[in-house]
Structures are given as C-alpha cells and as structure tokens.
C-alpha cells in the first residue's frame, strides 16, 4: 500500500454480519460449554460447584461406559466404511454407465438420505419387530424361521441391526459423491485400456480406484464423522439397549445431561468427544492432501 493512502474498512463491514453470527452461535456457545465442563452442576442449582478438571479426569480415567460406547460406535463406523461405501461405489459405477432409466435409479438411491431419521427408525422398528416384523415373515416364508427373533431386543443382533438401518439411511450420500467423482475421469483412459486388451477388473484397479483416491478419502471422512455422531436412530430403535449394547458417545452425553442431570460432566464428555473427532478429521485431511 502506498504511503499516505487511507485504509478502507468497507470490506470488513461486509464481513461483520457473518462474524457476528459466528460469534453468537459459535464462540459464545463454546465458551459456555467449556465453562460448564469445569463445574459440578445439575442444570438447576444457582450455585454450581467449581471442580476444575475433575469431570475430564472422570471421563478419561474412570468412565468405562463412555469408552465402551466408542467401541460400539467404531463397530458401526467399520461397517459403514466397508459395506456402506462399497455398496455406494458399486451402485455409482453401475449408474454411471449408459443405462435406460438411470436418472430414475439416481433418484431412488438418493431418497434414503433425505428422509427423516425418525421416520426411517420407525419403519425399521416395524421391519425388525419380533412378532409382526416383515423380516421374520420373510425368513419364515423361505424356511429360515429358526433365525427369526426380536432383532433390536437381542444383545447378539441389536448393534448390527442398528448399523444396517444407519447404512441404508446414509449410503446415498456416498453414492452421489462417488458418481460425481466418476464423471470427472476421462473416458479416453478407459477406451485406451480397452484397445490394449484390459478387462473390466484391470480398468477398475488401475484407472478408477487411483483416480478416485481423493474422493474415497473424502467419503471416508464424512462417513466417520456422520457415523460417530449417530443418535436419532438409536433413540427411535433401541434407546441404547438392550443392556447398553447399542450405546454410542452421543447417547452417553445425552444420558449424562438429561438422565443423570450432570450437565458439567456431559459438557466434558462432549469436549473430549469433539477433540477425538477433530483429531481423526485432521489425520484424514492430511492423507487426502497426500493422495491429491
């Protein structure tokens, strides 16, 4: 800037509304969350007790249930990263071809993500019902009635059943992102490979997957962040049961706050949970930069 030239503050005036919203809905709530995490507070008392890092110590060193919920959420995440994303990729590859009615397929595959999680949960509760559920009816009709059970009430199947609901609800997001990534790959590469005699499997491993690597990492990041925060489906289907077999971190935080009325402790759990997700996201973003 030339000497004597006046600084213009007009650009900052345009940024002011966004910065104000960020402060009101971002910085201030985080400050209150951090402040509350240092207190022993039931949400009602006018004189909460300051206990410093006591809540954090309890979360990290003493709350085995909280860490067990991470393991269970990790199981759902593992299924989503493998089964859900593999299904999304295969469907995207299929729809990316010149098929009759492919626009209809695209619409159908993207319908589950735009449905309400509450509605989806209620539908699957009916499907899994031990007495009148359609899943047990199908099993009985094909001679597999011995496998019928109350899927959401059985500790052996409850978490997997919830995982299936979550994967059905979420695979459409990966499908759309994979489809967009596939459409950026030049068709000339596939044509050259066909001329050289490469089969479909060779083209998939040596053209499609390498060029989709950044997209795969992006979908993996979104999958982990979405799955680790699963909550509404848990409320509708199992409410953390049976016997805690479907409890996940967000359910643990919810239970601490409204069930046990330990608002300070729930805030500490939330911050620890957020820091773990942030760490995972930073690692995956680093991997994405290397793959780009």
Q: What is the CATH number of the domain that holds 99?
A: 1.10.3720.10
Is 203 inside a domain boundary? yes
What's the pTM?
A: 0.87
Q: How many CA atoms lie within 13 A of 119 on its CB side?
A: 7
Q: What is the C-alpha to C-alpha distance for residues 46 and 197, in angstroms, rounded to an integer?
A: 77
Query: Which pLDDT belongs to residue 1?
Result: 46
- CB under 8 Å to 219, separation ≥6 — which residues? 85, 88, 173, 174, 177, 178
DSSP at 231: -
Is 104 inside a domain boundary? yes
**Exposure string for 164-173, b = 16+ CB within 10 A, e = fewer:** bbbbbbbbbb
Is 45 inside a domain boundary? no
Determine the 3-state secondary structure of 129 from DSSP: coil
Is 159 inside a domain boundary? yes
The burial class, CB within 10 Å (0-12 / 13-18 / 19+), for 37 is: buried
Query: Which pLDDT belongs to residue 50?
Result: 94
Is 73 inside a domain boundary? yes
Query: Which pLDDT belongs to residue 291?
Result: 63
Is 55 inside a domain boundary? no
Is 220 inside a domain boundary? yes
Query: Which pLDDT belongs to residue 225?
Result: 87
Range of 161's domain?
A: 63-291
Is 21 inside a domain boundary? no
| Number of independent structural domains in the chain | 1
Blockwise average pLDDT, block size 10, the chain, 292 residues: 60 85 91 94 90 94 93 94 94 83 81 90 94 92 91 94 94 92 90 87 90 89 89 93 92 90 94 91 78 62
């Amino acid at each position: 800037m030339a000497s004597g030239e006046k600084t213009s503050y007009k650009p900052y005036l345009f940024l002011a509304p966004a910065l104000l919203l960020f402060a009101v809905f971002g910085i201030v709530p985080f400050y209150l969350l951090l402040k509350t995490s240092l207190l022993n507070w039931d949400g009602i008392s006018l004189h909460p007790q300051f206990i410093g890092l006591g809540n954090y110590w309890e979360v990290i060193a003493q709350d085995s249930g909280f860490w067990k919920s991470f393991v269970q959420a990790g199981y759902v995440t593992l299924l989503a990263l493998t089964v859900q994303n593999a299904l999304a990729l295969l469907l995207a590859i299929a729809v990316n071809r010149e098929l009759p009615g492919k626009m209809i397929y695209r619409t159908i595959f993207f319908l589950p993500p735009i449905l309400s999680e509450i509605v989806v949960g209620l539908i699957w509760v009916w499907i899994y019902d031990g007495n009148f559920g359609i899943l047990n009816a199908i099993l009985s009709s094909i001679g597999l009635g011995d496998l019928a059970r109350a899927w959401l009430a059985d500790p052996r199947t409850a978490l997997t059943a919830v995982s299936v609901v979550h994967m059905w609800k979420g695979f459409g997001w990966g499908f759309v992102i994979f489809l967009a990534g596939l459409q950026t790959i030049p068709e000339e590469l596939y044509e050259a490979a066909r001329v050289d005699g490469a089969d479909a499997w060779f083209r998939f491993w040596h053209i499609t997957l390498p060029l989709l690597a950044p997209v795969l990492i992006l979908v993996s990041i979104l999958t982990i962040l979405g799955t680790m925060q699963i909550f509404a489906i848990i409320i509708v289907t199992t409410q953390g049961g049976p016997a805690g077999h479907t409890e996940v971190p967000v359910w643990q935080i919810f239970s601490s706050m409204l069930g046990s009325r330990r608002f300070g402790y729930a805030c500490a759990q939330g911050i620890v949970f957020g820091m773990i997700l942030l760490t995972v996201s930073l690692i995956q973003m680093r991997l994405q930069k290397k793959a780009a």
